[in-house]
Amino acid sequence: MAKPEVLLAGATGYIGGTVLTNILNSKNGFLENSNLSLLVRGEDKARIFNGKGMKTVLFEDLKNTEEVASIASNYDLIINTTPGGSVDSAVAFIKGLGNRKQTTGKEVYYIHTSGTSNIASLSPSTPTLTSPSPTLYPHLQRLNAETPYAQRTADIAVIGTGISAGVHTYILMPPTIYGTGTGLFNRTTIQVPTIMRAALKQKQVWQLASDEVDVEHVHVEDLSGLYVLIAGKIVQGDFKGLVSGEEGIYFAATGKHTWGEFSKGIRDALVEMGEIKEREVKRVGLKEAANEWTGGNDYRTDAEASRNLGWQPEKTEKDFQNHYLETAKLVLEAQKK
């Protein structure tokens, strides 16, 4: 039986690069049971991957949906780690997979990257959301009907298009992602460096006014393990407990922090590096903060479904506390270049 053809999109990115490293180091039989290709933009980056023995597929732009669908039609599983707000490219990937299924008669699969901002609320009394659940998809639809949001719109489109095209879809919905990535290119997340750069400009750290708002988090290496776990099960035909479609949404939180703790962690790191002297954290409202960085929403999720698949995150609270200084060093190094 031929090995399934697998395409990883986003291998030059923060999440995708770490997923690729995890795949290469994995002992779950993923590489032995599949043929892996990387979707890459730019011949220079493709040559770097090729030089390390990896197969690449060049593309021009994810906005070119005809190209995306055409490429996707050559694969049985696509792991899309690119930002989740692009509706058109996600739909194109799935339609291409649907064409593959019509041609080969084989089942096809799509793993999508999203985020818990889709389910966030400004209320600190938000109930805990679990998956798989028959109520989660309708909940996303209701939220989007009230307030359209690109990433949530993409999730709804992924599920709907997957059902109509006969493609099994799996949406990974992580919270705030922290830690240094292990890929060859982008190794930093968005949120913490953005807030740090703003603090360096202002010479002071800002904090959202409420200390009550909890934000969940997951280390990028732990998150990458969930991608590889699900992909590994697919290529090996082990679908026990693996739900797709309307209920195929997987949470990945391993801990939580308040905005107060978050801001103070950033402050302590920048003070220790000698980059700011002001130890007082300035309290600001959501609108003021949005001019510099995004955040502030509250949510609760339960990653039990992911753990039941065998997901075993390894990072601890100590790793989360240590990441502030680690990230500060990377931000400062990048500014010197």
In order along its 337 residues, the chain shows pLDDT tens digits of 689 999 999 999 999 999 999 999 998 889 999 999 999 999 999 999 999 999 999 999 999 999 999 999 999 999 999 999 899 999 999 999 999 999 999 999 999 999 998 887 544 455 677 777 888 999 899 989 998 999 999 999 999 999 999 999 999 999 999 999 999 999 999 889 988 998 999 999 988 656 667 889 999 999 999 999 999 999 999 999 999 999 999 999 999 998 889 999 999 999 999 999 988 888 876 555 554 544 445 567 989 999 999 999 999 999 999 999 999 999 999 888 7
Amino acid 219: pLDDT: 98
CB atoms within 10 A of CB 106: 10
Q: Are 130 and 304 in contact (CB under 8 A)?
A: yes
CB atoms within 10 A of CB 293: 19
Look at strands 168-173 and 206-208 and give their pairing.
unpaired
Amino acid 295: pLDDT: 45
Amino acid 184: pLDDT: 97
Q: Are 124 and 96 in contact (CB under 8 A)?
A: no
Give buried/exposed letters for 156-167 (b at 16+ CB in 10 A, else e): bbbbbbbeebeb
Amino acid 209: pLDDT: 54
Tokens 């990433």 -> residue: 151
Distance, CA of 107 to CA of 110 (rounded, Å): 11
pTM of the model: 0.93
Amino acid 287: pLDDT: 56
Q: Are 263 and 206 in contact (CB under 8 A)?
A: yes
Distance, CA of 208 to CA of 235 (rounded, Å): 44
* Start-to-end CA span in the chain (Å): 50
Residue whose C-alpha is closest to residue 62's, from 44, 36, 43, 84: 84
Amino acid 288: pLDDT: 59
